[in-house]
């Protein structure tokens, strides 16, 4: 994946709060480490803390286990200020004198605590949230014409299909199939790409009955 340049301009925000189980925390942290390893410099080996005061941190460690341990030890709370996330990315890009093509294109937020469809309907459609987020003029003023997309990845409810809630915001439920499609897709993971890549219920059914055991299956309407 790294050699093919997939997910090269992405960052992760990982919910590693103490109110989720150990296995769930390990998965969340692992996805953040994976995404950081696939990114190009200067985003490689970096992640954003899941906090009301987010920070762009360098993931420390000599091996996978130590990097996951580092991710799990980061500050985490339930009140992410996404306008501050944009401020942080803009400040960093200006300091590094990054051209627009090297700017982060997508921020993935991995969490078990979104509350499924209720979260996506309530939060992402909240006018105050979206108005505050997209009033950010700094990117255009500094030549970064397009704000990074934010994609909320619900690790608890895999049944949530990819849905654009408003401009540059989307949610989707993470399953083995959707994660595989995302990692193997030879495209940049924009919201539109996710819609194309993640299998539909019809795709999953067709895959499930594609084995030899179902060759003689007859479906009655």
Which domains occur in the chain, in start order? Answer: 10-214 (3.40.50)
Taking the whole predicted model, whether its pTM rises above 0.75 is answered as no
pLDDT for the residue numbered 38: 85
CB hemisphere CA count around 86 (13 angstroms): 21
Q: How far apart are CA 131 and CA 53, in angstroms?
A: 20
Over residues 116-128, mean pLDDT? 48
pLDDT tens profile 172-204: 666 666 666 666 654 444 545 544 544 445 554
Q: Are 151 and 194 contacting, i.e. CB atoms less than 8 angstroms apart?
A: yes
Q: How far apart are CA 47 and CA 71, in angstroms?
A: 9
Residue 146: what pLDDT? 62
């Amino acid at each position: 994946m790294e050699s093919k340049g997939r997910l090269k301009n992405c960052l992760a925000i990982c919910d590693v709060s103490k109110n989720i189980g150990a296995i769930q925390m390990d998965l969340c942290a692992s996805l953040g480490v994976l995404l950081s390893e696939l990114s190009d410099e200067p985003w490689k080996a970096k992640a954003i803390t899941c906090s009301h005061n987010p920070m762009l941190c360098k993931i420390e460690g000599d091996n996978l286990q130590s990097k996951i341990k580092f991710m799990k030890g980061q500050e985490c709370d339930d009140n992410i200020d996404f306008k501050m996330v944009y401020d942080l990315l803009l400040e960093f890009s200006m300091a590094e004198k990054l051209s627009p093509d090297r700017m982060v294109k997508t921020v993935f937020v991995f969490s078990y605590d979104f509350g499924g469809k209720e979260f996506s309907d309530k939060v992402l459609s909240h006018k105050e949230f979206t108005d505050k987020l997209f009033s950010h003029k700094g990117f255009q003023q500094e030549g970064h014409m397009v704000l990074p997309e934010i994609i909320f990845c619900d690790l608890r409810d895999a049944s949530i299909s990819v849905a654009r809630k408003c401009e540059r915001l989307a949610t989707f439920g993470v399953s083995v199939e959707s994660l595989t499609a995302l990692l193997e897709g030879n495209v940049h993971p924009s919201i539109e790409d996710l819609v194309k890549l993640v299998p539909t219920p019809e795709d999953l059914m067709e895959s499930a009955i594609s084995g030899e055991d179902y060759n003689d299956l007859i479906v009655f309407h």
